Amino acid sequence: MIAALFPYVEETRSVIVRVSVNYLQEQSQPQDGRWFWAYHIRIENHGNMAVQLLTRRWEIRDARNTMHLVEGEGVVGEQPVVKPGGSYDYVSGCPLNTSSGSMVGSYQMIDEDGEHFDIAIPRFELRAPVVSG
Protein backbone atom coordinates (compact mmCIF):
# COMPACT_ATOMS: atom_id res chain seq x y z
CA MET A 1 0.00 0.00 0.00
CA ILE A 2 2.76 2.48 0.91
CA ALA A 3 4.44 1.90 -2.48
CA ALA A 4 1.24 3.02 -4.20
CA LEU A 5 1.11 6.20 -2.10
CA PHE A 6 4.81 7.00 -2.52
CA PRO A 7 5.99 5.79 -5.95
CA TYR A 8 9.46 7.37 -5.71
CA VAL A 9 11.84 5.79 -3.18
CA GLU A 10 15.54 6.09 -2.34
CA GLU A 11 17.48 4.52 0.55
CA THR A 12 20.78 5.78 1.98
CA ARG A 13 22.34 4.43 5.19
CA SER A 14 19.09 2.91 6.48
CA VAL A 15 17.17 6.15 5.87
CA ILE A 16 14.41 5.85 3.28
CA VAL A 17 13.02 8.90 1.48
CA ARG A 18 9.62 8.41 -0.15
CA VAL A 19 7.94 10.96 -2.43
CA SER A 20 4.49 11.43 -3.91
CA VAL A 21 3.61 14.36 -6.16
CA ASN A 22 0.34 15.94 -7.26
CA TYR A 23 -0.39 18.57 -9.88
CA LEU A 24 -2.44 21.42 -8.37
CA GLN A 25 -4.75 22.61 -11.12
CA GLU A 26 -6.45 25.15 -8.85
CA GLN A 27 -3.13 26.91 -8.17
CA SER A 28 -1.87 26.69 -11.76
CA GLN A 29 -2.43 29.28 -14.48
CA PRO A 30 -1.24 27.70 -17.74
CA GLN A 31 -2.48 30.69 -19.75
CA ASP A 32 0.02 32.78 -17.77
CA GLY A 33 2.83 30.21 -17.97
CA ARG A 34 2.51 28.98 -14.37
CA TRP A 35 2.11 25.37 -13.28
CA PHE A 36 2.20 24.23 -9.64
CA TRP A 37 2.76 20.88 -7.92
CA ALA A 38 2.64 19.73 -4.30
CA TYR A 39 4.99 17.01 -3.15
CA HIS A 40 4.74 14.90 0.00
CA ILE A 41 7.98 13.59 1.50
CA ARG A 42 8.28 10.86 4.11
CA ILE A 43 11.66 10.27 5.74
CA GLU A 44 11.87 6.90 7.53
CA ASN A 45 14.69 5.93 9.86
CA HIS A 46 15.34 2.19 9.68
CA GLY A 47 18.73 2.54 11.42
CA ASN A 48 19.64 2.10 15.06
CA MET A 49 20.35 5.72 16.01
CA ALA A 50 18.45 8.99 15.70
CA VAL A 51 19.27 11.30 12.79
CA GLN A 52 18.58 14.99 12.31
CA LEU A 53 17.92 16.72 9.00
CA LEU A 54 20.13 19.82 8.80
CA THR A 55 19.94 21.13 5.22
CA ARG A 56 18.32 20.45 1.86
CA ARG A 57 19.58 20.72 -1.71
CA TRP A 58 17.22 20.54 -4.70
CA GLU A 59 17.91 20.53 -8.42
CA ILE A 60 14.69 21.54 -10.16
CA ARG A 61 14.58 21.30 -13.94
CA ASP A 62 11.87 22.60 -16.23
CA ALA A 63 10.93 21.29 -19.67
CA ARG A 64 13.57 23.56 -21.24
CA ASN A 65 16.18 21.76 -19.06
CA THR A 66 16.83 24.98 -17.14
CA MET A 67 18.11 24.02 -13.70
CA HIS A 68 17.17 25.91 -10.56
CA LEU A 69 19.24 25.12 -7.47
CA VAL A 70 17.54 25.49 -4.08
CA GLU A 71 19.62 25.10 -0.92
CA GLY A 72 18.82 25.95 2.66
CA GLU A 73 18.44 24.94 6.26
CA GLY A 74 15.88 22.32 7.18
CA VAL A 75 12.55 21.72 5.50
CA VAL A 76 9.35 23.77 5.94
CA GLY A 77 11.09 25.72 8.71
CA GLU A 78 12.10 22.64 10.70
CA GLN A 79 15.21 20.55 11.31
CA PRO A 80 13.47 17.37 12.44
CA VAL A 81 15.01 14.57 14.46
CA VAL A 82 13.89 11.12 13.27
CA LYS A 83 14.28 8.41 15.88
CA PRO A 84 15.01 4.76 15.02
CA GLY A 85 11.82 3.20 13.67
CA GLY A 86 10.28 6.67 13.28
CA SER A 87 9.34 8.84 10.35
CA TYR A 88 8.85 12.49 9.47
CA ASP A 89 6.39 13.78 6.85
CA TYR A 90 6.07 17.16 5.22
CA VAL A 91 4.39 18.70 2.20
CA SER A 92 5.80 21.50 0.08
CA GLY A 93 5.27 22.89 -3.40
CA CYS A 94 7.06 23.71 -6.63
CA PRO A 95 6.03 26.19 -9.33
CA LEU A 96 7.38 25.93 -12.86
CA ASN A 97 7.02 28.07 -15.96
CA THR A 98 6.63 24.94 -18.12
CA SER A 99 4.06 22.13 -17.92
CA SER A 100 6.63 19.52 -16.95
CA GLY A 101 9.95 19.09 -15.24
CA SER A 102 11.68 17.11 -12.52
CA MET A 103 13.18 17.41 -9.05
CA VAL A 104 16.04 15.53 -7.39
CA GLY A 105 18.09 16.33 -4.36
CA SER A 106 19.63 15.43 -1.04
CA TYR A 107 19.40 16.15 2.66
CA GLN A 108 22.41 16.63 4.90
CA MET A 109 21.89 14.69 8.09
CA ILE A 110 23.77 14.29 11.36
CA ASP A 111 23.63 11.17 13.53
CA GLU A 112 23.91 10.77 17.31
CA ASP A 113 27.69 10.38 17.00
CA GLY A 114 27.98 13.77 15.28
CA GLU A 115 28.73 12.27 11.86
CA HIS A 116 27.42 14.29 8.92
CA PHE A 117 26.19 12.44 5.84
CA ASP A 118 23.98 13.06 2.82
CA ILE A 119 20.90 11.05 1.94
CA ALA A 120 19.44 10.98 -1.54
CA ILE A 121 16.01 12.28 -2.48
CA PRO A 122 14.73 10.24 -5.43
CA ARG A 123 14.26 11.98 -8.77
CA PHE A 124 10.59 12.55 -9.50
CA GLU A 125 8.66 13.93 -12.44
CA LEU A 126 6.46 17.01 -12.48
CA ARG A 127 3.86 16.58 -15.21
CA ALA A 128 0.70 18.52 -15.78
CA PRO A 129 -2.18 16.52 -17.27
CA VAL A 130 -2.70 16.98 -20.98
CA VAL A 131 -5.85 18.98 -21.58
CA SER A 132 -7.67 18.12 -24.78
CA GLY A 133 -9.83 20.77 -26.24
Query: Domains of the chain by range and CATH?
Result: 2-124 (2.60.40.1470)
Would you call 47 exposed, middle or buried from its count of C-beta atoms within 10 A (0-12, 13-18, 19+)? Answer: middle
pLDDT digits (tens, 9 = 90+) for 30-76: 999 999 999 999 999 999 999 999 999 999 999 999 999 999 999 99
Structure confidence at residue 22 as a pLDDT band (50, 70, 90)? very high
pLDDT digits (tens, 9 = 90+) for 102-127: 999 999 999 999 999 999 999 999 99
Is the pLDDT confidence value at 1 over 90?
no
- Residue 132 pLDDT: 58
Q: Distance between CA atoms of 49 and 122, rounded to whole angstroms?
A: 23
Q: Distance between CA atoms of 47 and 117, rounded to whole angstroms?
A: 14
- Residue 3 pLDDT: 74
- Residue 41 pLDDT: 98
